[in-house]
Structure 1
Amino acid sequence: MLDTFRSYAQTKAAKVILGLILIPFALFGIDSYLNQAGNNLSIAKVNGYKIALPEYNRAIDNVRNRMTSDGKKVDPAMFDSFEFKESVVDGLITKQLLNNDIKKSKFKITDQQLSQYIVGMPEFQKDGKFSQELYDKVLQNNQLTPKKFEESIRNDLLIQQVRDSLQKLTFIPPNNLAETLKATSQQREVSVVEFKTKEFMVKATIAEKDMQSFYDQNKSKFLAPEQVKAEFVVFSLSSILPSINVTEDEVKAFYKTNADKYQNQQQREASHILIAASKNAPPVDKAKAKAKAEDILSQIKKNPKQFEELATKYSQDPESAKKGGELGAFGRGMMVKPFDDAVFSMKVNEVSGIVESDFGYHIIKLTKIVGESGGFDAMKPQLKAELIYQKGQEKFAALTEEFSNKVYEQSSSLDAVSKKFNLPIQKTDWISRNDSDKFFKNEALMNALYTKESIKDHRNTEAIEVTPNNLISARVVDYKAQSTKPFVDVKKNIEDYLKFEAAKKTVASEGESALKSVTDVSRKIDWQPAVLVDRKNTKGLSEAVINQAYKMPTDKLPSYSGFIDGNNGYIIVKVNKVAFPNDNNEENKKAFATEYTEALSAEYLTAYLKGLKAKANVSVNQKFFEATQKN
């Protein structure tokens, strides 16, 4: 029973479901009563209660934050997996089932209990005491009224009461505890021999006709995606800044209006390389972007002189990339804070580490410091640059609508908008839906290229903001439908796959044959050195081997067993002896008793929740999950 729970509790799904039951939601964001109109997509229903998209999204963020807050490394791809999303929904369903059952029960949290809990919450402590000011500020930041916050906390405490009551019901007789402790602390001396698939794969040979036959029978596996070639124009703030002029009087007036801001201020000239990743991008995309930025940084460290070349080649800030990453002059506060803090702490010609902002990952090179303190004359270049930038923003905002209207009204060509705004028409190579990384890393733009209007009618896409102050309209000029890849292009992949499948069969056969003859002294088996293990101290053996070793009978030793280890191969396990350590340490016994009690309590909770779910009317919007997996 304990093993069953441990196995369950270690799965990602269980951690998410139990986490959702235990996490107080009140301080993680507004609860479901604040669902906005337009966000009423139903993710699931529990006895008529609708779990809507905002509640689901907040739960996703809450669990992700909780799983990464302690500094542990978590594979970002996990958060995009169907298993993770499904488990979050299971957790929300479970929480609602508990809420419903609690309302029918006699569980109660008094006002005094509620007040004591809130006063003791670490989020509201200042100098070791409850701070009303901090309490008001936290609630305001989370758009919560005291009444609704207290309702949420009261509900969480009621759920905790349910868990506590189940734990109190958990009684373990001393004899049972002693026997269980003995069983779980049992040690086994284990040795293994592995038959590895990859080693047999090298020896496998596949006939040409078998590869051709596999190709003919599985052409659906070898489809080349539909692709387009496109032309596009980029309308950006930086493209109109050169046309902005300011007079000396305007600069002086600007300085006078902002005199306090510019007292004793310097300005910076810098270049950067941006690998784009929006703050709301999936963790797996952000991880890929950061890895790419780190690779570029390592190249710069080897040869700092290639910064401009690498900026032109890799930076996803389209306008500065054309100038080797050059951004021009700017003062403190003009850039986003992480960028601003980094560049104003650097020395001339210094290259930063990876700087993360809402736009992605930057590598910054400081090229010049100008504008030492000295009043208007010293600050004039920066003042002029800031005033030009401010006027440019105003003009860009005014022209954005005109640009959008132009690409829409004259949608059969980009020539008109190109001439009107003096923008070059650029071209792409063949790109598929999966190539958004090659095309401004913008999914909305890629989706727009694959509409019927874009492909069949060759109409301009709407103006799409791919990064702040950068609008793009694109137009499909050529199209390739989905097609089957030629045999010659996929032959190597087919050969590798068939070799792998053949190797799996051979390794299983070889392993089973070896298992039957383990006691045959004439057959040499290369056993790995034996190690004494228990369920916690596995001495480097895999979880699969340990599980197999503890399933094996020990009435007659040595004992032998074999199993297929997924795609890795076949493993034979030998148990040589069994030992029971004599542990009279009272602390260890108490720790085990606590762990065992918690495990039993968790099993009771799981059974209780299964019972609630069996009696409830629960439905899940499977189409939503199918759509998110496709994306």
Structure 2
Amino acid sequence: MFDFVRKHNRLFQLILLILILPAFVLVGVEGYSSFIDGSNKGVATVDGRKITQAEWDAAHRNQVERMRSQMPNLDAKLLDSPEVKREALDQLVRERVMLAAANGQHLTISDERLQQLFRADPQFAFLRNPDGTVNKNMLQAQGMSSEMFAQRLRQDLTLRQVMLGVAGTAVASKANAAAAFDALLQQRELQLQVFDAKNFLAQVNPSDAEVEAFYKEPANSARFQLPETAQIEYLVLDLESLKGGVTVSDEDLKKYYEENQSRYTVAEERRASHILIKADKDAPAADKSKAKARADELLAEARKNPAGFAELAKKNSQDEGSATRGGDLDFFPRGAMVKPFEDAAYALKQGEISNVVESDFGYHIIQLTGVRGGEKKSFDAVRAELDQEVRKQLAQKRYSEAAEQFSNMVYEQSDSLKPAADKLKLTIQTAVVQRQAAPGATGPLASAKLLEAVFGNDALRNKRNTEAVETSPNQIASARVVQHNPSRLPALADVKAQVRAQLMQKLAGEAAIKQGKERLAALQKSGDAAGLEAPLVVSRAKPANLPPKVLNELLRADVAKLPSYVGVDSGEGLYVVARINKLLPRDPAVIDEARATQQYAQAWAAAESMAYYNALKTHYKTKITAPASAAASGVAP
């Protein structure tokens, strides 16, 4: 048979082509198009331009990276939530709306304005060199070139202009601010009487029949339901587990130390002061010659009196940033200054003054005032660090091979984790898990992928190992269900004490409410304040430890006629009866007139900005088409 196939190979190829081609035409083209268009699918449109799923995904990834860099310990599950994803889409839509508005209004930022804002804005101080130039090392650390940074800054500043006309022109009169804050922070003098459920517990004694009836009520079943759990064994392969099996000799450590001396040497930094006579690189030759002559004169003065360099810099340097400090630029590493300046500074000995140095900014006279760093740490001082580093590198090299072995063994010998554990010298661990990671869970037990595999049909029914799951970078895990406990309602005998306690709390709460309402009715009828607590003053700024629901009800109660009587069930086992004696103006100590006016203006500006943004969305026909299941509801389409 196979000889026949080999002899008639071309014939079989033709037959296969005839069979496959129609299927591809009918099904394959559509499937291929769907595959290509999946990431190109529109999730929103702004001004007729589509925002694709791929762009949304990229925006979400960038948002996650920013949040992780700011809060490294943030739960990864929160970053992958529908709310965070929707926020990324909303920000992307807002950026596109602002770009459309900026283009429609012909807004732009000139190069001169860009330079001025960069040098003046305090938020960019960490990106500025002492001479006002961009610190390229800082940009590189953030994955940007100078051109990328300038482009991004220009776009951000352009987009700000769209809203500036609205946000920057809000007007708030003192009278309007006062009226708003008077209403918000109005004070009321009250007398209270609190009926607490815990004070009625001794009065309630439910029978066994009542406890059983309470337990069987459908509405109460969920309170006592035991969650679905799985008792598992699991195995983890990561760099840490592999490092333990790595042996490193002193010879290997010393070799690594010699090959990486720069890593164990403190980087040299130099401190210098300078006098700058400005001369742009494109300035006319006559102007540059005049600046050079002035720098030569100052160099001669500096060398006559090196101790007076700082005073000379204060009077003559045209570097506004350093002149007031006597030209001091503080310590800087290699790469922080323009090359001609750096070369000259690193060629000097401490206290020496350089010749006139030309750069793109003009002519510098440099005095070296300090040197630090450059020391090499001894082998013994860094031996422990070397050992960990070399072990980690060797484990990293071993990881790929070990991960493949791990994956194959837990799959091929799926009835036990022991073969893989023995082969790779790993420890089998145990745990009890639910479908959702427990609060505070770490490592593999916090992995949604691993838990999903644990509660898969094959793992639950057949007690087979899960496939090897990547639970974090350089970490894979497999688990096996030892015992599965479905969600169930326990027998009453097992939870009777818990059921009885909850029923008693419910009955005590009902008793507190009943007595509180009776007291309220008596007050409304007689007005007798006997038994009420001493008067106190409350407001939103001074809640007096009242539950939020109670405070809100007391502050919204009708006070057309005083005294007024109010009863509020807090929903937390408290019933509060209150007599409102009088209204008082807001406390001026909480917020003064100037601050009130400022905050009112900010709130008004925010409201106007949001209204303007919504108008822009309508004008530029903004529509969000992402399905509700893909993200939580946010800004309306």
Same fold per superposition (TM over 0.5): yes
How far residue 517 of structure 1 moved from its aligned partner, in angstroms, is 1.9
What residue number does 1:562 align with? 567
* Match in the other structure for 1:601: 605
Tell me which residue corresponds to 1:485: 490
Q: Which residue in the other structure is 2:628 paired with?
A: 622
Q: Distance in 2 between matches of 1:253 and 1:123?
A: 45
Match of residue 191 from structure 2:
191
* One-letter amino acid of the structure 2 residue matched with residue 578 of structure 1: L
Deviation at 1:393, TM superposition (A): 5.4
Structure 1 gap ranges (5+)? 1-36, 264-372
1:417 aligns with 2:420: yes
Does 2:211 match 1:208? no
Q: In structure 1, how many angstroms separate the alpha carbons of the residues matched to 2:251 and 2:74?
A: 57
Secondary structure in 2 matching 1:476 = strand
Query: Structure 1: which amino acid aligns with 2:409?
Result: K
SS at match of 1:562: strand
For 1:105 and 1:379, locate their aligned partners in 2 and report how far apart those are by CA, in whole Å.
Answer: 61
SS in 2 for 1:108: coil
Q: 1:212 Cα shift? A: 3.2
- C-alpha distance 251-557 of structure 1, shift in aligned 2 (>3 A): closer
Between the aligned partners of 2:385 and 2:60, the Cα distance in structure 1 is: 47
Counterpart position of 1:119: 119
Alignment partner of 2:229 out of 227, 230, 242: 227
Relative distance call for 1:207 and 1:54 in structure 2 (3 A) is farther
CA contact (8 A) 1:124 1:131 kept: no
Tell me the distance in 2 between the aligned counterparts of 1:538 and 1:555: 22
**1:118/1:433 CA distance change after superposition, 3 Å:** same
Which of these residues, 427, 452, 472, is aligned with residue 457 of structure 2? 452
- Displacement of 1:173 after TM fit? 6.2
Q: Residues 382 and 225 (structure 1 numbering): CA distance in 2 closer, same or farther, change over 3 Å? A: closer
What is the match of residue 105 of structure 2? 106
SS at structure 1 position matched to 2:534: coil
- Give the 3-state SS of the residue equivalent to 1:228 in structure 2: strand
Provide the residue aligned with 1:494 in structure 2: 499
Paired position in structure 1 for 2:536: 531
Q: Given the superposition, is the C-alpha separation of residues 457 and 96 from structure 1 closer, same or farther in structure 2, using an over 3 Å criterion?
A: same
Look up the match of 2:272: none
d(CA) in 1 for partners of 2:129, 2:244 = 56
- Alpha-carbon offset, residue 94 of structure 1: 6.7
Shift of 1:582: 11
Give the Cα separation in 1 of the matches to 2:494 and 2:598. Answer: 60
**Structure 1: which amino acid aligns with 2:133?**
Q
- TM-score (norm: length of structure 2): 0.58
Contact kept? 2:195, 2:512, Cα under 8 Å: yes
Structure 2 vs 1, CA of residues 155 and 172 (structure 1 numbering), >3 Å: closer, same or farther?
A: same
Find the aligned partners of 1:194 and 1:392 in 2 and give their Cα distance: 65
Deviations 1:416-464 (A, max 9, x none): 434544556x463654335664985342433332223322343323345
Larger Rg: 2
Cα distance change on mapping 1:522 and 1:395 into 2, 3 Å? closer
Q: Which amino acid aligns with 2:445?
A: K
Q: CA deviation at 1:531?
A: 2.7
Deviation readout 1:96-134 (Å, 9 max, x if unpaired): 474266247537243244443233333432689574342
Return the alpha-carbon distance in structure 1 between the equivalents of residues 512 and 42 of structure 2.
45
Write the distance in 1 (CA, Å) between the matches of 2:257 and 2:142.
Answer: 38
d(CA) in 1 for partners of 2:243, 2:163 = 63
Report the equivalent of 1:132: 133
Instruction: Give unmatched runs, 5+ long, in structure 2.
Output: 1-35, 266-376
Aligned to 2:479: 474
**Could you tell me how far 1:242 is from its partner in structure 2?**
7.4
CA distance in 1, matches of 2:510, 2:42: 43
1:526/1:251 Cα in 2 relative to 1: closer, same or farther (>3 Å)?
same
Partner of 2:594: 590
CA RMSD of aligned residues (A): 5.2
Q: Is contact 2:239–2:475 with CA below 8 Å preserved after alignment?
A: yes
Give the letter aligned to residue 110 of structure 1: I
| Aligned-residue offset at 1:412 | 3.7
CA distance in structure 1 between the partners assigned to 2:253 and 2:539 by the alignment: 77
Contact 2:459 2:466 in 1 (8 A): yes
Quote the offset at 1:484 in angstroms. Answer: 3.2
> In 2, Cα distance between the equivalents of 1:107 and 1:222?
64
Q: Which residue of 2 aligns with 1:515?
A: 520
Please tell me whether the aligned partners of residues 98 and 159 of structure 1 are also in contact (alpha carbons under 8 angstroms).
no
Matched AA of 1:408: Y
Equivalent residue, structure 1, for 2:44: 45
* Contact 2:56-2:88 at 8 Å conserved across structures: no
- Determine the C-alpha separation between the residues in 2 that align with 1:479 and 1:438: 22
Aligned letter for 1:404?
A: S
State, as a whole percentage, how many aligned pairs show the same letter: 22
CA deviations 1:531-586 (Å, max 9, x no partner) are 34555355555555554444344443322223332435232333323345897x9x
**Residue 535 of structure 2 aligns to which amino acid in structure 1?**
A
1:6 is matched with which residue?
none
Is the contact between residue 170 and residue 605 of structure 2 (CA under 8 Å) also seen in structure 1?
yes
Q: C-alpha separation between the residues in 2 aligned to 1:402 and 1:525?
A: 81
Q: Residue 191 of structure 1: CA displacement?
A: 2.9
> Are residues 162 and 406 of structure 1, via their aligned partners in 2, closer, same or farther at CA, if it must alter by over 3 Å?
same
Q: How many residues align?
A: 473
Amino acid paired to 2:119:
V
Shift of 1:77: 12
